[in-house]
Amino acid sequence: MSIDLTAASITEVVQKTFEGAEDERVKELFTRLVQHLHEFTREVRLTGDEWFKAMDLLERVGKTCTPTRQEFVLLSDILGLSVLVDLIHHPGGGSVTDSTLLGPFYVEGRPTAENGSDISGEVAGTPLFFNGRVVGPDGTAVVGAEVDTWHSDGEGSYDVQMQDKLHGQPAMRALLTTDDEGRFWYRTVAPRYYPVPDDGPCGEILRAANRSPMRPEHLHFWLHAEGFEPLITMLVRGDDPYVERDAVFGVRQSLVVDFVQHDAGESAPDGTPMDESFQTVERTFVLARKEC
Protein backbone atom coordinates (compact mmCIF):
# COMPACT_ATOMS: atom_id res chain seq x y z
CA MET A 1 0.00 0.00 0.00
CA SER A 2 1.29 3.41 -0.93
CA ILE A 3 1.75 5.83 1.95
CA ASP A 4 2.41 8.74 -0.39
CA LEU A 5 -1.22 9.41 -1.17
CA THR A 6 -2.77 12.15 -3.26
CA ALA A 7 -6.35 13.31 -3.64
CA ALA A 8 -6.46 11.27 -6.83
CA SER A 9 -4.63 8.11 -5.78
CA ILE A 10 -6.33 7.46 -2.45
CA THR A 11 -9.48 6.06 -4.06
CA GLU A 12 -7.83 3.01 -5.61
CA VAL A 13 -5.82 2.39 -2.46
CA VAL A 14 -8.98 2.32 -0.34
CA GLN A 15 -10.84 0.19 -2.88
CA LYS A 16 -8.08 -2.45 -2.78
CA THR A 17 -8.62 -2.92 0.94
CA PHE A 18 -11.97 -4.52 0.11
CA GLU A 19 -10.50 -7.12 -2.24
CA GLY A 20 -10.26 -9.63 0.61
CA ALA A 21 -14.01 -9.62 1.19
CA GLU A 22 -15.33 -13.17 0.91
CA ASP A 23 -18.76 -11.97 -0.23
CA GLU A 24 -18.52 -10.71 -3.82
CA ARG A 25 -21.52 -8.44 -3.38
CA VAL A 26 -19.98 -6.83 -0.29
CA LYS A 27 -16.80 -6.25 -2.29
CA GLU A 28 -18.75 -4.69 -5.16
CA LEU A 29 -20.90 -2.47 -2.96
CA PHE A 30 -18.03 -1.01 -0.95
CA THR A 31 -15.69 -0.65 -3.92
CA ARG A 32 -18.29 1.29 -5.87
CA LEU A 33 -19.38 3.26 -2.81
CA VAL A 34 -15.80 4.44 -2.27
CA GLN A 35 -15.56 5.34 -5.96
CA HIS A 36 -18.66 7.55 -5.95
CA LEU A 37 -18.12 8.98 -2.47
CA HIS A 38 -14.59 10.05 -3.35
CA GLU A 39 -15.64 11.43 -6.72
CA PHE A 40 -18.38 13.47 -5.04
CA THR A 41 -15.90 14.79 -2.49
CA ARG A 42 -13.41 15.82 -5.18
CA GLU A 43 -16.14 17.32 -7.38
CA VAL A 44 -17.55 19.63 -4.73
CA ARG A 45 -14.14 20.11 -3.03
CA LEU A 46 -15.74 19.30 0.33
CA THR A 47 -14.24 21.42 3.10
CA GLY A 48 -13.29 20.17 6.54
CA ASP A 49 -16.06 22.25 8.08
CA GLU A 50 -18.63 20.79 5.70
CA TRP A 51 -17.40 17.26 6.42
CA PHE A 52 -17.74 17.91 10.16
CA LYS A 53 -21.28 19.21 9.67
CA ALA A 54 -22.15 16.12 7.63
CA MET A 55 -20.84 13.82 10.37
CA ASP A 56 -22.75 15.83 12.97
CA LEU A 57 -25.92 15.58 10.88
CA LEU A 58 -25.61 11.80 10.53
CA GLU A 59 -24.95 11.47 14.25
CA ARG A 60 -28.10 13.45 15.01
CA VAL A 61 -30.12 11.44 12.48
CA GLY A 62 -29.11 8.32 14.41
CA LYS A 63 -29.90 9.85 17.79
CA THR A 64 -33.33 10.96 16.54
CA CYS A 65 -34.33 7.37 15.73
CA THR A 66 -36.59 5.61 18.21
CA PRO A 67 -38.74 2.47 17.90
CA THR A 68 -41.48 4.73 16.47
CA ARG A 69 -39.41 7.34 14.60
CA GLN A 70 -37.13 6.29 11.76
CA GLU A 71 -35.09 9.36 10.86
CA PHE A 72 -32.70 7.34 8.66
CA VAL A 73 -35.66 6.06 6.64
CA LEU A 74 -36.89 9.64 6.36
CA LEU A 75 -33.45 10.82 5.23
CA SER A 76 -33.48 8.14 2.55
CA ASP A 77 -37.02 9.19 1.59
CA ILE A 78 -36.39 12.94 1.21
CA LEU A 79 -33.27 12.26 -0.86
CA GLY A 80 -35.30 10.08 -3.24
CA LEU A 81 -33.19 7.01 -2.42
CA SER A 82 -36.07 4.89 -1.12
CA VAL A 83 -38.11 5.40 -4.26
CA LEU A 84 -35.07 4.96 -6.51
CA VAL A 85 -34.37 1.52 -5.03
CA ASP A 86 -38.00 0.59 -5.58
CA LEU A 87 -38.11 1.93 -9.16
CA ILE A 88 -34.99 -0.02 -10.16
CA HIS A 89 -36.57 -3.33 -9.14
CA HIS A 90 -40.24 -2.47 -9.77
CA PRO A 91 -40.29 -0.10 -12.74
CA GLY A 92 -44.04 -0.57 -13.10
CA GLY A 93 -46.13 -0.26 -16.20
CA GLY A 94 -47.14 -3.93 -16.10
CA SER A 95 -50.29 -5.64 -14.98
CA VAL A 96 -49.34 -5.90 -11.31
CA THR A 97 -49.99 -3.09 -8.86
CA ASP A 98 -47.14 -0.61 -8.61
CA SER A 99 -45.16 -0.49 -5.40
CA THR A 100 -43.82 2.52 -3.58
CA LEU A 101 -41.92 3.39 -0.44
CA LEU A 102 -42.71 2.04 3.02
CA GLY A 103 -42.45 5.41 4.74
CA PRO A 104 -41.33 6.03 8.32
CA PHE A 105 -44.59 5.17 10.11
CA TYR A 106 -44.83 1.42 9.65
CA VAL A 107 -44.27 -0.17 13.05
CA GLU A 108 -44.25 -3.74 14.28
CA GLY A 109 -47.00 -4.95 16.57
CA ARG A 110 -50.13 -3.92 14.71
CA PRO A 111 -53.37 -5.58 15.85
CA THR A 112 -55.18 -8.12 13.71
CA ALA A 113 -58.69 -7.15 12.64
CA GLU A 114 -61.72 -8.93 11.26
CA ASN A 115 -63.06 -7.82 7.90
CA GLY A 116 -65.72 -5.18 8.36
CA SER A 117 -64.38 -4.01 11.69
CA ASP A 118 -63.52 -0.46 12.68
CA ILE A 119 -59.72 -0.05 12.87
CA SER A 120 -59.73 3.62 13.86
CA GLY A 121 -59.18 2.92 17.54
CA GLU A 122 -60.26 5.82 19.73
CA VAL A 123 -59.62 8.37 17.00
CA ALA A 124 -62.49 10.61 15.87
CA GLY A 125 -62.91 11.72 12.28
CA THR A 126 -64.88 11.43 9.06
CA PRO A 127 -65.80 7.75 8.56
CA LEU A 128 -64.04 6.07 5.65
CA PHE A 129 -65.01 2.65 4.33
CA PHE A 130 -62.31 0.79 2.41
CA ASN A 131 -63.11 -2.14 0.14
CA GLY A 132 -60.17 -4.02 -1.30
CA ARG A 133 -59.61 -7.13 -3.35
CA VAL A 134 -56.38 -9.04 -3.94
CA VAL A 135 -55.87 -11.00 -7.15
CA GLY A 136 -53.06 -12.66 -9.06
CA PRO A 137 -51.89 -11.57 -12.52
CA ASP A 138 -54.62 -13.71 -14.12
CA GLY A 139 -57.34 -12.05 -12.05
CA THR A 140 -58.04 -15.00 -9.78
CA ALA A 141 -58.67 -14.22 -6.14
CA VAL A 142 -55.81 -14.51 -3.69
CA VAL A 143 -57.38 -16.15 -0.67
CA GLY A 144 -55.79 -15.73 2.75
CA ALA A 145 -53.53 -12.84 1.75
CA GLU A 146 -52.34 -10.82 4.74
CA VAL A 147 -52.85 -7.10 4.31
CA ASP A 148 -51.21 -4.55 6.58
CA THR A 149 -52.77 -1.12 6.39
CA TRP A 150 -51.89 2.08 8.22
CA HIS A 151 -52.65 5.76 7.79
CA SER A 152 -52.93 9.12 9.51
CA ASP A 153 -55.96 10.67 11.17
CA GLY A 154 -57.95 13.62 9.83
CA GLU A 155 -55.31 16.02 11.09
CA GLY A 156 -52.43 14.17 9.47
CA SER A 157 -51.05 12.43 12.57
CA TYR A 158 -50.22 8.73 12.92
CA ASP A 159 -50.92 6.89 16.15
CA VAL A 160 -47.22 6.76 17.00
CA GLN A 161 -47.18 10.57 16.96
CA MET A 162 -49.90 10.84 19.58
CA GLN A 163 -49.00 8.10 22.02
CA ASP A 164 -49.88 10.23 25.04
CA LYS A 165 -53.39 10.80 23.75
CA LEU A 166 -53.86 7.15 22.78
CA HIS A 167 -52.02 5.79 25.84
CA GLY A 168 -49.74 3.85 23.52
CA GLN A 169 -52.60 1.94 21.90
CA PRO A 170 -52.30 1.35 18.14
CA ALA A 171 -54.93 3.05 16.00
CA MET A 172 -55.58 3.39 12.28
CA ARG A 173 -53.41 0.37 11.60
CA ALA A 174 -54.32 -3.30 11.35
CA LEU A 175 -53.56 -6.64 9.77
CA LEU A 176 -56.46 -8.10 7.79
CA THR A 177 -56.84 -11.34 5.84
CA THR A 178 -58.59 -11.74 2.50
CA ASP A 179 -61.68 -13.95 2.34
CA ASP A 180 -62.61 -16.69 -0.14
CA GLU A 181 -63.08 -14.09 -2.89
CA GLY A 182 -59.83 -12.30 -2.14
CA ARG A 183 -61.68 -9.44 -0.50
CA PHE A 184 -60.84 -7.42 2.59
CA TRP A 185 -62.72 -4.44 3.99
CA TYR A 186 -62.75 -2.21 7.01
CA ARG A 187 -64.03 1.02 8.46
CA THR A 188 -61.70 3.75 9.67
CA VAL A 189 -61.40 7.54 9.68
CA ALA A 190 -60.35 9.58 6.64
CA PRO A 191 -56.66 10.52 6.62
CA ARG A 192 -55.29 13.94 5.71
CA TYR A 193 -52.21 15.39 4.07
CA TYR A 194 -49.41 15.88 6.55
CA PRO A 195 -45.84 17.07 6.88
CA VAL A 196 -43.12 14.49 7.33
CA PRO A 197 -41.55 14.99 10.77
CA ASP A 198 -39.55 18.17 10.30
CA ASP A 199 -38.42 18.90 13.84
CA GLY A 200 -35.22 16.88 13.38
CA PRO A 201 -32.18 16.87 11.09
CA CYS A 202 -34.26 16.01 8.00
CA GLY A 203 -36.37 19.09 8.65
CA GLU A 204 -33.16 21.16 8.62
CA ILE A 205 -32.39 19.84 5.14
CA LEU A 206 -35.90 20.63 3.89
CA ARG A 207 -35.80 24.17 5.27
CA ALA A 208 -32.31 24.78 3.88
CA ALA A 209 -33.68 23.89 0.44
CA ASN A 210 -36.95 25.79 0.89
CA ARG A 211 -38.74 22.47 0.32
CA SER A 212 -42.24 21.62 1.45
CA PRO A 213 -42.45 18.78 4.00
CA MET A 214 -45.97 17.85 2.88
CA ARG A 215 -47.25 14.48 1.74
CA PRO A 216 -50.63 14.12 0.02
CA GLU A 217 -53.46 12.21 1.71
CA HIS A 218 -52.90 8.47 1.42
CA LEU A 219 -53.47 4.98 2.79
CA HIS A 220 -50.54 2.56 3.17
CA PHE A 221 -50.66 -1.16 2.37
CA TRP A 222 -48.22 -4.05 2.69
CA LEU A 223 -49.50 -7.31 1.22
CA HIS A 224 -48.14 -10.82 1.74
CA ALA A 225 -49.48 -14.02 0.20
CA GLU A 226 -48.11 -17.52 -0.28
CA GLY A 227 -46.64 -17.90 -3.78
CA PHE A 228 -46.68 -14.16 -4.53
CA GLU A 229 -44.16 -11.36 -4.23
CA PRO A 230 -44.82 -9.05 -1.25
CA LEU A 231 -46.18 -5.66 -2.25
CA ILE A 232 -45.56 -2.39 -0.42
CA THR A 233 -47.79 0.29 -1.84
CA MET A 234 -50.16 3.13 -1.04
CA LEU A 235 -53.25 4.83 -2.48
CA VAL A 236 -53.21 8.60 -2.88
CA ARG A 237 -56.19 10.96 -2.99
CA GLY A 238 -56.45 12.32 -6.52
CA ASP A 239 -57.73 15.81 -5.66
CA ASP A 240 -55.20 16.41 -2.89
CA PRO A 241 -53.31 19.73 -3.19
CA TYR A 242 -49.96 17.96 -2.71
CA VAL A 243 -50.47 15.05 -5.09
CA GLU A 244 -47.86 16.36 -7.54
CA ARG A 245 -45.32 17.53 -4.96
CA ASP A 246 -44.92 14.75 -2.45
CA ALA A 247 -41.94 15.51 -0.17
CA VAL A 248 -40.74 11.91 -0.46
CA PHE A 249 -41.53 11.29 -4.17
CA GLY A 250 -43.79 8.31 -3.39
CA VAL A 251 -46.77 9.10 -5.64
CA ARG A 252 -47.22 7.06 -8.80
CA GLN A 253 -50.00 7.88 -11.22
CA SER A 254 -51.40 4.35 -11.08
CA LEU A 255 -51.82 4.67 -7.30
CA VAL A 256 -53.93 7.83 -7.45
CA VAL A 257 -57.57 7.05 -6.60
CA ASP A 258 -60.87 8.73 -5.82
CA PHE A 259 -61.78 9.19 -2.19
CA VAL A 260 -65.52 9.34 -2.87
CA GLN A 261 -67.49 11.75 -0.70
CA HIS A 262 -70.97 10.70 0.47
CA ASP A 263 -73.60 12.83 2.20
CA ALA A 264 -75.34 12.06 5.48
CA GLY A 265 -78.39 9.95 4.81
CA GLU A 266 -76.69 7.66 2.32
CA SER A 267 -75.91 4.08 3.25
CA ALA A 268 -72.44 2.76 3.96
CA PRO A 269 -71.14 -0.07 1.71
CA ASP A 270 -72.34 -2.59 4.31
CA GLY A 271 -75.87 -1.12 4.08
CA THR A 272 -75.74 0.79 7.35
CA PRO A 273 -77.62 4.13 7.12
CA MET A 274 -75.18 6.93 7.93
CA ASP A 275 -76.24 10.05 9.83
CA GLU A 276 -73.01 11.86 8.95
CA SER A 277 -71.04 12.35 5.75
CA PHE A 278 -68.47 9.71 4.93
CA GLN A 279 -65.98 8.57 2.30
CA THR A 280 -65.43 5.35 0.39
CA VAL A 281 -62.36 4.03 -1.38
CA GLU A 282 -62.12 0.88 -3.49
CA ARG A 283 -59.15 -0.82 -5.05
CA THR A 284 -58.08 -4.15 -6.49
CA PHE A 285 -54.45 -5.06 -5.84
CA VAL A 286 -52.71 -7.32 -8.35
CA LEU A 287 -49.79 -9.32 -6.94
CA ALA A 288 -46.90 -10.72 -8.98
CA ARG A 289 -46.31 -14.45 -8.78
CA LYS A 290 -43.12 -15.42 -7.01
CA GLU A 291 -40.62 -16.88 -9.44
CA CYS A 292 -39.54 -20.37 -8.49
Q: Is 103 in the site for Fe ion (CB under 5 A)?
A: yes
Residue least distant from Fe ion (Cβ): 103
User: Read out DSSP for the chain?
Assistant: --SS--TTTHHHHHHHTTTT-SSHHHHHHHHHHHHHHHHHHHHHT--HHHHHHHHHHHHHHHHH-BTTB-HHHHHHHHTTHHHHHHHHH----SSSPPP----TT--S-PPB--TT-B--TT--S-EEEEEEEEE-TTS-B-TT-EEEEEE--TTS--GGG-HHHHTT---SEEEEE--TTSEEEEEEE----EEPP-SSHHHHHHHHTT---EE-SEEEEEEE-TTB--EEEEEEETT-TTTT--TT----GGGEE--EEE-TTSBPTTS-B-SS-EEEEEEEEEPPBPP-
Q: How many residues line the site for Fe ion (CB under 5 A)? A: 1
Residue 116 CB, nearest distance to Fe ion (Å)? 24
Q: Is 201 in the site for Fe ion (CB under 5 A)?
A: no
Q: Which is nearer to Fe ion, 142 or 223 (CB)?
A: 223
Residue 156 CB, nearest distance to Fe ion (Å)? 9
Q: Which is nearer to Fe ion, 194 or 228 (CB)?
A: 194
Q: Which is nearer to Fe ion, 103 or 127 (CB)?
A: 103
Residue 191 CB, nearest distance to Fe ion (Å)? 8
Q: Which is nearer to Fe ion, 176 or 234 (CB)?
A: 234
* From 18-26, 76-84, 95-103, 117-125, span contacting Fe ion (CB under 5 A): 95-103
Q: Is 104 in the site for Fe ion (CB under 5 A)?
A: no
Residue 202 CB, nearest distance to Fe ion (Å)? 15
The residues of the shown chain that bind Fe ion, judged by CB under 5 A, are 103
